[in-house]
Structure 1
Amino acid sequence: MSYFMYDVMGETVDEPDPETMRHVLDGLANADDEHPDVSLSHESGWSLSAFRGGLLTWANAEDDSVAPRRMREVAREETLRLFGLLAAGDVVSIEALSWQR
């Protein structure tokens, strides 16, 4: 399975390991209005975007019929866990969470 991350400045990190995911997420400390998030995207089209303050969005760029969803106040460790699930292609587990439209 192929996946990649964008860091807070928009640089691509191909197939990051858990430690690299943690490092990319740490970059949110430098987020600003122009560069507000980091994200992990899977070859299936699904992506998770994390913002400073704990906002997490879940979307599928390849399926316009699926509305983006979000969760607020997501803890850092939970965000890392979800990044790991998406990297493994476990969309079902992520979909099962209580997302808001």
Structure 2
Amino acid sequence: MSHFLYDVTGSTVDEPDADTMRRVLDGLADADDEHPDVSLSHESGWCLSAFAGGLLVWENTEDSAAEPGELREVSRDEVLRLFGLLAAGDIAAVDALPWRR
């Protein structure tokens, strides 16, 4: 399964491993108004966007009928866990969370 990560500068990392995901999440310390998040996208169109304040957004960028959701106060460790699930293609496990839609 193909996946890629956008860092806080907008640069893309193809098929990131867990260490790369950690480094990219650490980059949220440098987030600004122009680049407020980092995101992991899966080839299915599903994407997780993480913001410095603990906001996590779940959306399908290729399906406008799929309603986006958000979680607040998500820990860095939980974001890493969810990034790992999405990278592995486990869409159902991520989607099963109590997303506010």
TM-score (norm 1): 0.99
Q: Percent identity?
A: 70
The equivalent residue for 1:40 is 40
The equivalent residue for 1:57 is 57
SS in 2 for 1:62: coil
Rounded Cα–Cα distance in structure 1 between residues aligned with 2:16 and 2:81: 13
The equivalent residue for 1:71 is 71
| Structure 1 segments of 4+ aligned residues over 6 angstroms from their partners | none
The reply on whether 1:17 has 2:17 as its aligned counterpart is: yes
Rounded Cα–Cα distance in structure 2 between residues aligned with 1:36 and 1:14: 20
The equivalent residue for 2:3 is 3
Moved more, 5-14 or 60-69: 60-69
Structure 1 stretches lacking a partner, 5+ long:
none
Residue deviations 1:12-60 (CA, integer Å, cap 9, x gap): 0000000000000000000000100000000000000000010000000
Rounded Cα–Cα distance in structure 1 between residues aligned with 2:75 and 2:49: 13
| CA apart distance, 1:62 | 1.0
Rounded Cα–Cα distance in structure 1 between residues aligned with 2:71 and 2:52: 13
- Equivalenced residue count is 101
TM-score (norm 2): 0.99
Rounded Cα–Cα distance in structure 2 between residues aligned with 1:15 and 1:25: 15
Residue deviations 1:42-89 (CA, integer Å, cap 9, x gap): 000000000001000000011110111100000000000000000000
The equivalent residue for 2:89 is 89
RMSD: 0.4
SS in 2 for 1:98: coil
Structure 2 stretches lacking a partner, 5+ long:
none
